[in-house]
Structure 1
Amino acid sequence: MTGRTLLATALCAFLGAPAFAQDFGFAGILSNTNQGEDLPTLILGSGKPISDGPIELESGKVYELEIESDGSAELALEGPGFFRNIWVNEVVVNGLEIRPYGLESVEFDQAGTMEIEFIAIRPGQYFLRIPGSSGDAQRVDIAIR
């Protein structure tokens, strides 16, 4: 059962909707028509830039952010302001889906890929950066409009 199917089933049960309602798909914020554009993959590597430039998101849209680490160093991304102003649906690591209440940072101890599916909520200027870094290449600015 996919994450969205599981969520639809739970919502139908919670709202008292008939079980067949989930067969019609999502409406509103989680619908397939509410998908934002593809986001650039963020790359974590020792001394490498995280992204080619800033990222712009639209409030209320669903996005999937892919983060790749080349394993050259133990690296993390922090962005508490960003993570507090999105709703995280799931984090996928090695095919395992995690449904957290919230995030403040993520860390890679070795090479790998992580996908974070989320809904942009509160408009503003945010960032993700490698903790303790000061260079512009070690940070990506994110605007939610």
Structure 2
Amino acid sequence: MRHACAAALLGLVVAAPVAAQPFDYGFAGLMSASNRERLEPLTLASGQPVAEAPYELKSGTYYRLKIIADGSAELALSGGDFFRAIWVNEIVINKIEVRPMGVHSIEFDAAGEVDMSFIAIVPGTYELSIPGSTGDTQKAIFHIR
């Protein structure tokens, strides 16, 4: 009986699922070059779509996103929920690197570009949209898995 119990216990131990192995990104961790992906840019132009299609992101991946405004109108992208679901590494404006603690929106008064790098964190569906607009083309949708 004692051996049967020991064998059954051993069987449970052997059948137990193996814990997930951590990713080995090397010395730079999540910021490693092997964990980086460049996204298609967002466009801010009067009457034009902000994004061609929804973005599919993976939690824990480092992304770079360019936002390009043509200056045809004073436009912003707002999305507090999106910015709370990611960790922003930096926002580069005119070769000036900003490392913010938090972001709610980015506004362009004239033509220009912003290059943002971030790590997707919290799974869910999020939007960056032009404030006051209601059209489906006036927002970018991000699905973090």
TM-score tier, shorter chain, comes to 0.7 to 0.9
1:73 aligns with 2:73: yes
> Where does structure 1 lack aligned partners over 5 or more consecutive residues?
1-24
Counterpart CA distance in 1 for 2:27 and 2:93 is: 25
| Counterpart AA for 2:29 | G
Task: Provide the residue aligned with 1:140 in structure 2.
Answer: 140
Pair 1:122 & 2:122 matched: yes
Paired position in structure 2 for 1:103:
103
CA RMSD of aligned residues (A): 1.0
8 Å Cα contact 1:57-1:144 kept in structure 2: yes
Matched, 1:32 2:14: no
What SS class does the counterpart of residue 68 from structure 2 fall into?
A: strand
- Distance, in Å, in 1 between the alignment partners of 2:49 and 2:88 is 25
What is the distance in 1 between the residues matched to 2:123 and 2:80?
15
Give the match for residue 89 of structure 1. 89
Give unmatched runs, 5+ long, in structure 2.
1-25
Look up the equivalent residue of 2:71 and give its one-letter code.
G
Aligned equivalents of 1:142 and 1:101: distance in 2?
Answer: 21
Shift of 1:27: 3.0
Give the aligned length: 120
Report the secondary structure of 1:137's partner residue: helix
* Matched position secondary structure for 2:82: helix
* Secondary structure of residue in 2 paired with 1:53: coil
- Alpha-carbon deviation of 1:26? 3.5
Kindly provide the CA deviation profile for residues 40-98 of structure 1, in whole angstroms up to 9, marking residues without a partner as x.
Answer: 11000111100111001000010011000000000000011100010000000010000
Runs of 4+ in 1 over 4 A off after TM superposition: none
Structure 1 Cα separation of the partners of residues 96 and 115 of structure 2:
10
CA 26–107 in structure 1, closer or farther in 2 if over 3 Å, else same: farther
The amino acid across from 1:69 in the alignment is A
Q: Distance in 1 between matches of 2:92 and 2:27?
A: 21
Relative to the length of structure 1, the TM-score reads 0.80
Q: TM-score under structure 2 normalisation?
A: 0.80
Distance 1:69 1:26 in 2: 36
Q: Which has the larger radius of gyration?
A: 2
Q: CA deviation at 1:29?
A: 1.0
